[in-house]
């Protein structure tokens, strides 16, 4: 188990998600069990492994508004635009959502964009867009009528971006940010901006594409200060000054 713990710590330092780390540890357990079954080893050293679960209330790293401005200002053209897409939509970075978005997914009639979401029961969801971002998409479509994907490398029409990790890290250095921040933290920024501004939890959960609102609640409840204070407006306290003192 000590070797498995060392592996998990190394993966964590590399920024691998909990689900990825659980999967790799399960692979190790399965391989070792195969070794036991084929008389290659006498016992499975990982037999006690159980998948780790996320701790409720664990706060994600939040990008401040000043950091967001600095990163955007230091970014290259395609990363700058990818940042804008993420802060306006909250989509997951990567091939399944951000890099898969096409210009034809924009629905101007319904003022939104269709997003394929594999983690929900509905594989294709209309994500509403703010008018100013919809106008940006319209301008982009008119300026580049042959553009296929929302996020593309400049001068390479029709070719989606495969990864932004290298340019993201370089941009953090140029922006003078030394703490560990991931592209995924832009999604956390989107969620925190909504909830801190008083957005409904269920609506925020649906915008994020969470299959269960409890996921949103467990991750971001500490940010819902406005809702908690607003809840106190419904608390009616009797006027105790009118009560007689019992004798």
| C-alpha distances out from residue 131 to 134, 190, 207, Å | 5, 17, 16
State the Cα–Cα distance between residues 243 and 247, nearest whole angstrom: 12
Beta pairing partners, 213: none
| CB distance 223 to 195 below 8 Å | yes
Question: Tell me, what's the pLDDT at 81?
Answer: 95
Question: Tell me, what's the pLDDT at 55?
Answer: 47
State the Cα–Cα distance between residues 109 and 79, nearest whole angstrom: 28
Please list, in sequence order, all residues whose beta carbon lies within 8 angstroms of the beta carbon of residue 18, skipping any fewer than 6 positions away. Answer: 52, 54
Dihedral angle, C-alpha 37, 42, 48, 51, nearest 10 °:
-40
State the Cα–Cα distance between residues 221 and 57, nearest whole angstrom: 7
- Given the structure tokens 């991750």, which residue do they identify? 219
Q: What is the DSSP string of 175-242?
A: TT--S---TTHHHHHHHHHHHHTT--HHHHHHHHT-SSHHHHHHHHGGG-HHHHHHHGGG-PPP-GGG
Instruction: Output the tens digit of pLDDT for each of the chain's 247 residues.
Output: 566 667 767 766 565 667 777 888 888 888 888 888 998 888 888 777 777 665 444 456 688 889 999 999 999 999 999 999 999 999 999 888 999 999 999 999 999 999 988 765 567 899 999 999 999 999 999 999 999 999 998 767 777 788 999 999 999 999 999 988 999 999 999 988 888 888 888 898 999 988 788 888 877 777 667 667 777 777 888 777 766 555 5
| CB distance 95 to 118 below 8 Å | no
Radius of gyration, alpha carbons of the chain: 23
Q: What is the DSSP string of 13-36?
A: HTT--HHHHHHHHHHHHHHHHHHH
State the Cα–Cα distance between residues 61 and 185, nearest whole angstrom: 7
Question: Tell me, what's the pLDDT at 58?
Answer: 47
């Amino acid at each position: 188990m000590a070797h498995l713990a060392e592996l998990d710590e190394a993966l964590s330092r590399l920024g691998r998600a909990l689900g990825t780390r659980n999967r790799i540890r399960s692979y190790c357990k399965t391989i070792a069990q195969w070794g036991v079954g084929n008389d290659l080893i006498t016992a499975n050293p990982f037999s006690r492994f159980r998948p780790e679960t996320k701790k409720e209330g664990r706060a994600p790293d939040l990008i401040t508004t000043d950091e967001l401005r600095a990163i955007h200002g230091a970014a290259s053209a395609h990363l700058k635009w990818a940042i804008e897409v993420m802060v306006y939509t909250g989509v997951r970075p990567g091939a399944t959502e951000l890099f898969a978005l096409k210009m034809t997914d924009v629905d101007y009639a319904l003022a939104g964009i269709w997003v394929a979401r594999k983690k929900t029961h509905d594989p294709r969801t209309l994500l509403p867009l703010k008018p100013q971002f919809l106008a940006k998409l319209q301008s982009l479509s008119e300026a580049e009528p042959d553009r296929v994907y929302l996020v593309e490398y400049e001068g390479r029409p029709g070719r989606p971006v495969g990864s932004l990790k290298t340019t993201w890290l370089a941009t953090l250095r140029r922006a003078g940010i030394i703490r560990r921040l991931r592209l995924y933290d832009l999604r956390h920024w989107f969620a925190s901006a909504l909830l801190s501004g008083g957005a409904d939890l269920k609506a925020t959960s649906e915008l994020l594409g969470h299959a269960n609102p409890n996921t949103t609640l467990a991750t971001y409840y500490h940010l819902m200060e406005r809702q908690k204070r607003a809840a106190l407006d419904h608390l009616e306290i009797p006027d105790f000054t009118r009560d007689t003192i019992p004798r």
